Structure 1
Amino acid sequence: MASVWQYLTLGLGPETFGIDVEHVHEILDYRPAAALPQAPGSLLGMIDVRGQSYPVVDLRVRLGLAPAAPTPATRIILLHVPVRGRPLRVGVVADRVIEVTELDSAEMEAAPEVGGRWRSDYIAGIGRRGESFVVVFDLAALLAGEDGALLAPEMAA
């Protein structure tokens, strides 16, 4: 029997991506982050949300795309993601948030190994929404990455 999962769909340029709603804590209007010295290029800085600190990652830069100036549609999506067995609170910047949609896991395709624009190890699968595709992120892989930039030193080991 097929399982249907809900995903928050977001846009980066013309592409549509999906994040499992289980990990979405809140969606905020864009606001500048406080810069951190010697942070990796994809880490914009930190924001405070009701007394909780969140590192903020630019998804465009993380995926190797050119950065884009914020627009009125730009959002920060606050996530709570288990990474290497520990909880990680992080905000990710998206060009726009589209909607919550359902994708059938039985129809989910594996990430193609074509060496295209997206790193396939950051992709959990490719779903379909009507005639278009939704690239579903593997959040733990995307946020931990090769450099473990968002993880505390003891978590990156």
Structure 2
Amino acid sequence: MSHEAKTAPLTGAGGISLSGKYLTFTLGAEEFGLQILKVREIIGYMDITAVPRAPHDVRGVINLRGQVVPIVDMRARFEMEAAEVTDQTCIIVVEVKAGKHSFHTGIIVDQVCEVLDIDGKDIEPTPQFDGSVDTSFILGMGKIGSAVKILLDIDKVLHTRELAQLTENT
């Protein structure tokens, strides 16, 4: 007879289950996941038009079939070392919600990996650090075999006043 404690599936804000499909991507050696329902499309890296006085992690904008989309460098957003653009570098266009409004933003990632169906029982809460590390943008830690994927709340990762203003002005 097993005496293991049964844990309820992890839930996000508002008690919504975190179980579901996640698009995984890499930044350096780390693997991250986004809820697939936030992903609008994946495109190859393309020329980006710089926007003067944009925040350091906003590389500029692209014209995506007539829609101007701001582009955020995820390495810069997470204060990681810059990397060369390769054939694997992609832009993931996501829908970001900010209050009652939503807008599309592209994020530059090193490589798109796969879509995973992650059960809530395989998602651990974000570890508690000593308070010096902001983890408010992390939904949880997805355990896939012996690997751990950092599951992101892309709304919290990308929502900044500057990005919202840039989107309104385009």
**Same fold per superposition (TM over 0.5):** yes
Cα pair distance change 1:75/1:31, threshold 3 Å: same
- Candidates 10, 20, 30, aligned match of 2:45: 30
Cα deviations by residue, 1:72-111 (Å, 9 ceiling, x for unpaired): 1000000112122210210000000000011112331121
TM-score, normalised to structure 2, is 0.82
Say whether the 8 Å CA contact 2:122–2:144 is kept in structure 1: no
Kindly provide the amino acid, as one letter, of the partner of residue 143 in structure 2. R
Q: Say whether the 8 Å CA contact 2:21–2:115 is kept in structure 1.
A: yes
Question: Tell me, what secondary structure is at the counterpart of 1:61?
Answer: helix
Shift of 1:32: 2.3
Partner residue of 1:76?
A: 91
1:90 aligns with 2:105: yes
Q: How is 1:114-153 mapped onto 2 (pairs within 5 angstroms)?
A: 114=129, 119-145=134-160, 148-152=161-165
Secondary structure of the equivalent of 1:151? helix
Unaligned 5+ runs, structure 2 = 1-7, 10-16
2:122 alignment counterpart = 107
Aligned to 1:59: 74
Tell me the SS of whatever aligns to 2:136: helix
Higher Rg of the two aligned structures: 2
1:118 shift after superposition = 6.6
Within 2, Cα distance between the matches of 1:38 and 1:123? 28
* CA distance in 2 between partners of 1:132 and 1:98 (Å): 14
In the alignment, the residues of structure 2 paired with residue 82 and residue 98 of structure 1 have an alpha-carbon distance, to the nearest angstrom, of 24
Aligned residues with identical type, % of pairs:
32
TM-score by length of 1: 0.89
Check whether the contact 2:124–2:143 (CA below 8 A) recurs between aligned residues: no
CA contact (8 A) 1:63 1:119 kept: no
Cα 1:68–1:48, aligned 2, differ >3 Å: closer, same or farther?
same
* Residue of structure 1 in register with 2:56 after alignment: 41
Question: Is the CA contact 1:63–1:118 (under 8 Å) kept in the aligned structure 2?
Answer: no
- The match for 2:4 is none
C-alpha RMSD of the superposition: 2.1
1:50 and 1:107 mapped to 2: Cα distance? Answer: 38
Between 75-84 and 7-16, the greater mean CA deviation after superposition: 75-84
Over 3 Å counting, the alpha-carbon distance change for 1:117 and 1:31 in structure 2 is farther
How many residue pairs are counted as aligned between the two chains? 152
